[in-house]
Structure 1
Amino acid sequence: MTPSARLQAAIEMLDWIIAAARDNGASADNIAKKFFKERRYAGSGDRRAIRELVYAAIRRWGDRPESGRQAMLGLVADQPELRELFSGSNYAPAAIVADEPVASGAQIPDWLGDRFASLIDENERKALFDRAPLHIRVNGQRSTDMEVKSAWPEAVALALPHGYELPTGTQLEDRTLFSEGAVEIQDLGSQAISLAGAAAKPALVLDLCAGAGGKTLALSAMLSPDSKIIAADTDRGRLSRIEPRKRRASARNIETILLAPGNEMESLQHLKASCDLVLIDAPCSGTGTWRRNPELRWRMTPKRLEHTTELQQRLMVLGSELVKPGGRLVYAVCSLLDAEGGDQADAFLANHPGWKEISIDLPIGRPYRKGTLLSPYHDGTDGFYFTCLEKL
């Protein structure tokens, strides 16, 4: 493909991504897979160049552009070499005309700018758009750190036990240690939250928003095989992904429960006041994962954020009813917004005097508003806020 044809393809892919962001459709990564599946003529070099153009545009614009063309025209100011590719020739974008609408604005939407945690300064904001590293967690029940270092000599040990960073692009799926459940791909921030949950060695654990089970599996590897971990979620598709993962890791202490949205307690009644630990990795804006999913900015609106924080509040109350006296609740969000982090912890403790904050000693993160803040610039992790609370 010519450079102009690659640019036109990037514009077309961006149109798909913009529409999906507007209509709550598929993620940018899934759209890219479908896009290239329908264009098998695009070689590996073409696909790489098109992706780079697409993600340069996604990272550049905090507010959702009206079209892929507007997004790319806006990039011309940063990458003037793109101008000549708008030639109007075969397979090229149409020539630029005077007064044509162009995307503009900052990387972070104006309405979100003052909602970040106070520790998130300009350096932190820039780091939100860096390329995310590849972190893995070694399953100590299935392998050793020495075996992992032997398999990947380039692995760099991280601040937490069994955490390593590999070069971006390292293929894991075809390696024996991965197929045998000895390692899992997991951001160090997620590993830290799991470690905080495992600190008191709980015997009965409920992962209330388990998703595909990343933290469920981490807890299973950190706790005694005699412990019981229940992974629950309202999304059948995501929850079903735990089964092959737990078989691969030989995690026999994990059970799953599919919940009815808005009526979760119906399936959890038997756990009321029984759990040593309830982990709530709550649905959120995902501001802490912009390195991986920058198009999330195009999906979030003030109204959607309001609905999300209301759901978080409800989940915290629900989870608290399932914790036994002396047990713990760990609330976490992959967000750096106060509304989803510190504000939620403050509000819960103000309305539930039978709870107290527990300090967890970790080598990463910063104390922040009755919890811990993890961020790309300070910790090299995705952005997280989490708090550990104990029931009196």
Structure 2
Amino acid sequence: MTPAARCAAAIEVLADIIERRRPAADALKDWGLAHRFAGSGDRAGIASLVYDALRRRASAAWIMGAETPRAIVIGSLRLQQGLAAPSIAALFSGEGYAPAALNADERSRIETGTLDGAPPEIAGDAPAFVLPELEAALGDDLIPELRALARRAPLDLRVNTLRGPRETIQAALEGYGAAPTPHAPHGLRVPVGADGRGPALHVEAEFLEGWYEIQDEGSQLAALLARAKPGETIVDLCAGGGGKTLALAAATGNAGRLIATDGDPRRLAPIHERLRRSGAQAEVRTPRGGKQRADVLADLDGMVDRVVVDAPCTGSGTWRRNPDAKWRLRPGSLATRHAEQAAVLDRAAALVRPGGRIVYITCSLFPSENDAAISALLERQGRRFASVPNSDLLNAAPPALSEAVRRTVHGIQMTPLRTGTDGFYVAAVERLA
């Protein structure tokens, strides 16, 4: 497919996403199945155009004066890729499989359109109803942070220290330009192409042999701040596919008792193969459905040293990677997540022993999912728990990270602008009695 034909396809996919309120991944998959002539490079190129358009959906529509899929794709080429009017006109020529030629108004807007005077939800490409939450978290950095959140995310790896040191894998991936991550001690960052795509590292021999996992630096740091220690009994309460489970196993050198579970058994499906590949040791407890559903952790109540709660959340901190999620978010979604967070925190509170800790993690920027969730837990539990000071939480952090993070009432907040990571929140509470 030509670059112009890819633009036409991106407009088609974007229309499907907007009209049917579908996840971008589902719409892209269906388009690929219906257009089998498109090769893997074409599908990846179309996906890059679609995700860029979603990242800049509001600001692109603003400068183009229209909210159509065509206008959004054109505007994103201008804002996200920095293409000038002649370059965009060459893609929108109306020839062959290219989209219809630019009209006079479109060309004028590409040449003169700016975000001067745009309201925050337009300048920052975020739903207006979440701005109060974001302003509370980001303060004067609201617009710079939102613009950082609208950029493409980097490609980060976590080196599995159960297999060997970071230097070994960095040398093996030298041809890809792998370099140490700014903060995470076991991370590597691999440059992505001009189209936002990175190399297919999941097919390399070292990946298949468990030497590294693809994991954002912020997620790596959240697992590091959990401060898992050899000899401890640790529960990863919302383990999902196992990314943090593997990091916790490596942190203890497989010298702790690590139990992984999740309220949704389907999310645990990938963890078994990942454990095998990495050499990480963890006991996976999969809940079963039905009326007779049993609590798979009942035997551990009051006995666990460290409960890691990678809580269900809106994922607002991952909008660089999942830009469609912000446009599907609705006010009711927040209430649902708040209830889920309270439930998992209360379950964690029953598991932890006196003197033990709950480490609460989200990939959210919203205070109502972060500090407010910890405040509510402390209120529900009375005097049984106390918040761990930020200084204690950051004892395990590299010095540069301690200086970069935002310190909140109960925890710390990582952000794309300050730390170069996804937006992760980490807090800890300790059981007193």
TM class by shorter chain equals 0.7 to 0.9
1:215 corresponds in structure 2 to 244
- 1:1-392 paired onto structure 2 within 5 Å: 1=1, 5-19=5-19, 22=21, 25=22, 27-43=23-39, 46-62=42-58, 68-69=69-70, 71-72=72-73, 82=88, 91=97, 93=99, 105-106=122-123, 107-116=125-134, 117-118=137-138, 120-153=141-174, 154-158=177-181, 159-168=183-192, 169-201=198-230, 203-258=232-287, 260=289, 266-352=295-381, 353-358=383-388, 359-360=392-393, 361=395, 362-363=397-398, 364=401, 365-392=405-432
For the Cα contact (< 8 Å) 1:18–1:66, is it kept in 2? no
Structure 1: gaps of 5 or more residues: none
Q: Is the 8 A contact 2:258 2:281 kept in 1?
A: no
- Judged with a 3 Å threshold, the aligned counterparts in structure 2 of structure 1 residues 173 and 4 are, in CA distance, closer, same or farther, namely closer
Contact 2:228 2:248 survives alignment (8 Å): no
| Count of aligned pairs between the two proteins | 386
Deviations 1:327-368 (A, max 9, x none): 110111101111111111222223322111222221223321
Retained in 2: the 8 A contact 1:62–1:297?
no
Of stretches 129-138 and 117-126 in structure 1, the one that deviates more from structure 2 is 117-126
Deviation string, structure 1 residues 292-327 (Cα, Å, up to 9, x no partner): 111111111111112111211221112111111111
Q: Structure 1 residues 251-260 or 329-338, which shifts more?
A: 251-260
User: TM-score, with normalisation over the residues of structure 2?
Assistant: 0.79
Structure 1 residues 338, 176: CA separation in 2 closer, same or farther (over 3 Å shift)?
Answer: same
Q: SS in structure 2 opposite 1:178?
A: helix
Report the Cα offset of residue 38 of structure 1: 2.9
- State the alpha-carbon separation in 1 of the partners of residues 293 and 251 from structure 2: 27
Deviation, structure 1 residue 265:
7.0
Q: Deviations over 1:8-65 (max 9, x none)?
A: 3112211332356x3xx5x423532442243232356644553343223211125999
Q: TM-score, normalised by structure 1?
A: 0.86
Deviation at 1:210, TM superposition (A): 0.8
Higher helix share: 2
Assess if the C-alpha contact under 8 Å between 1:58 and 1:295 holds in 2.
Answer: yes
CA RMSD for the aligned pairs? 3.2
What do the CA deviations read for 1:151-185 (whole angstroms, capped 9, x no partner)? 12332223232122122213322323211112111
| Cα pair distance change 1:85/1:283, threshold 3 Å | same
Which structure has more relative contact order (CA 8 Å, sep 6+)? It is: 1
Conservation of the 8 A alpha-carbon contact between 2:317 and 2:423: yes
Is the contact made by 2:287 and 2:295 (CA closer than 8 Å) also made in structure 1?
no
% identical equivalent positions: 39
